[in-house]
Structure 1
Amino acid sequence: MSDARLSVFKTYKLYVGGKFPRSESGRVYEVTSGKGEWLANAPLSSRKDARDAVVAARKAFGGWAGKTAYNRGQVLYRVAEMLEGRREQFVREVADAEGLSKSKAGAVVDAAIDRWVWYAGWTDKVAQIAGGANPVAGPYFNLSSPEPTGVVTVLAPQESSFLGLVSVLAPVIATGNTAVVIASERSPLPALSLGEVLATSDLPGGVVNVLSGRTAEIAAPLAAHQDVNGLDLCGADEVLAKELQVAAADNLKRVLRPQPVDDWTADPGTHRLTAFLETKTVWHPTGSLGASGSSY
């Protein structure tokens, strides 16, 4: 009897609404390494997949935005814990996706895990930098506080398949938004594996939805979707970004335009944390005017 075994290849699926569907269209496309070697077949998402992801993200938004900032931080930290436990898998996938040595891929994965922890720590602190008391002339308290925008479509960076992805996704959900992520078209496997990690963490289904396929094909219906509130164009080229901005203007989406990033390991600052926040301002009378107040 032969000792030879058949290779058991991994089946990559989308991550939508806390589940792992194949593309509604049944289509897949070949993903290859930097050396041109076949790695896997990834789902080729359709417009229907994109619409399903928006429905899932909208359904999850109320519960996720309603959690305390501290609790969201705990959930993000749990994601980092789960990533740490599957570090070797991600090192291998990032090395294949980006043509890196194992040691360099390990450094990238470690930086991505640290980035999750960093944003976990920001969840209950961002209100202090994006809100506060405003000076007004009159017997009133005037207080501003940040609130999440809603459902945000995130075009993940094309070249940084994992660290770049984490750097644009984590701040969106840290502030209470839900996300529909379009993975790197050329290197989607780390993003699809991230969906498996999110499913086994404490993150509610639908908070993050991961699609793979042709970036332009998936992004177009999402940019025009009336139930999408924000759009991060990090992974779009100049031509596609312009087309998507025009489509997004139809329902006044918040749009974060592409910004070149030379080093994803650098301090990310807070601009992505505040990109998809709205400011709620409350006026409240002081003194003898009564206890009732109003907000605008």
Structure 2
Amino acid sequence: MSRIEVLKTYKIYIGGKFPRTESGRYYQPMNDKNALGNICLSSRKDLRNAVVAARGALAGWSNRTAYNKSQILYRIAEMLEGRRAQFVSELEQQGSSKAEASKEVDASIDRLIYFAGWCDKYTQVFGAINPVATSHFNFSSYEPTGVVGIITPEKSSLLGLVSVVAPVIAGGNTCVVLASESKPLCAITFAEVLATSDVSGGVVNILTGKSNELLPHFGSHMDINAVTYCREDKTEIKALQLDAVDNLKRIKVLSEDVDHEKAWETPYLILDHSEVKTTWHPVENISAAGSGY
């Protein structure tokens, strides 16, 4: 009598914890007629809970020093490296060859390290002291946008998620992530990495489920400040943009083809969800005051 395999239940990740979906529903993605696991079908209530957690974590995360955020992103990369074999195995289960899976895990680790390096540098590179015609210093610097919704690439289980989450949190934002529906395994395993990587609960929240059920709520939720969408469905893009009108949230549409090369390694991805703050400070007009001699 053959043994019946016990499939893993991949729970969602909200506020640093792993609850089951409030809806009580789940689905089983398949590969060669074999079920890969029990995956939660997240509900609107799950999304609302995730946004509450993200908003609650925003002040603490955004006020951490840039150097500390850099340390934490590097720690995520370290923990991902330590569980490399598990991620390779899950990618293979979802249809990748061993070589493709190894390449994707390596690229994900390297991308985390890349953005860890930018945490304490991008404000220096892109900030400015602006020329003005009055007796003032005029400084421009970058601050986080707030809570960012992320719709990850459907075709990529791990690298797509890492490529959009890393720059968002590097910039001091918190996020609510919708993982790939057809390839969700690595997303929740990545949440297990986050839970042991010094990332405060609520900074990254990961949901699984159907985009046609959850996408309208990403667009209409009044406490989500911006959304990054990384898929190719033009109908979904238009609907998301229309839903976002009421609170004027920023919608950033990125390509679903998250390559393994350097195209996605740019600090401009951090700026996508940053706001420019300009400060004026009065200064004595030296020419009017005289030289002092």
Asked if Structure 1 and Structure 2 have the same fold, meaning a TM-score greater than 0.5 normalized by the shorter chain, the answer is yes
Q: Secondary structure at the match of 1:284?
A: strand
Structure 2: how far apart are the matches of 1:257 and 1:107? 25
Letter in 2 for 1:21: P
Match of 1:214 in 2: 210
Q: Is the 8 A contact 2:155 2:256 kept in 1?
A: no
Task: Answer yes or no: is 1:287 the counterpart of 2:284.
Answer: yes
Q: Secondary structure at the match of 1:259?
A: coil
**Residues paired across the two proteins, number:** 285
Deviation at 1:236, TM superposition (A): 5.3
Letter in 2 for 1:77: Y
Q: Secondary structure at the match of 2:259?
A: coil
Deviation at 1:285, TM superposition (A): 1.1
Q: Secondary structure at the match of 2:218?
A: helix
Identity of aligned residues (%): 52
Deviation at 1:286, TM superposition (A): 1.1
Q: How does 1:61-100 map to 2 (within 5 A)?
A: 61-97=58-94, 99-100=95-96
Match of 1:173 in 2: 169
Q: Is the 8 A contact 1:164 1:264 kept in 2?
A: no
Task: Answer yes or no: is 1:152 the counterpart of 2:137.
Answer: no
Structure 2: how far apart are the matches of 1:102 and 1:42? 23
Q: How does 1:91-170 map to 2 (within 5 A)?
A: 91-97=88-94, 99-170=95-166
Match of 2:291 in 1: none
Match of 2:289 in 1: none
Letter in 2 for 1:189: L
Structure 1: how far apart are the matches of 2:46 and 2:73? 26
Task: Answer yes or no: is 1:235 the counterpart of 2:231.
Answer: yes
Letter in 2 for 1:38: A
Deviation at 1:260, TM superposition (A): 5.0
Q: Is the 8 A contact 2:104 2:260 kept in 1?
A: no
Q: Is the 8 A contact 1:31 1:186 kept in 2?
A: yes
Alpha-carbon spacing, 1:274–1:77, altered in 2? closer, same or farther (3 Å)? same
Gaps of 5+ in 2: 287-293
Letter in 1 for 2:276: T
Structure 1: how far apart are the matches of 2:252 and 2:89? 31
Q: Is the 8 A contact 1:119 1:170 kept in 2?
A: yes
Letter in 2 for 1:12: Y
Match of 2:194 in 1: 198
TM-score (norm 1): 0.92
Residue by residue over 1:212-252, the C-alpha shift from the partner in whole angstroms, topping out at 9 and shown as x without a partner, is: 00012112112100000010011351110110011112101
Deviation at 1:258, TM superposition (A): 3.5
Match of 1:21 in 2: 19
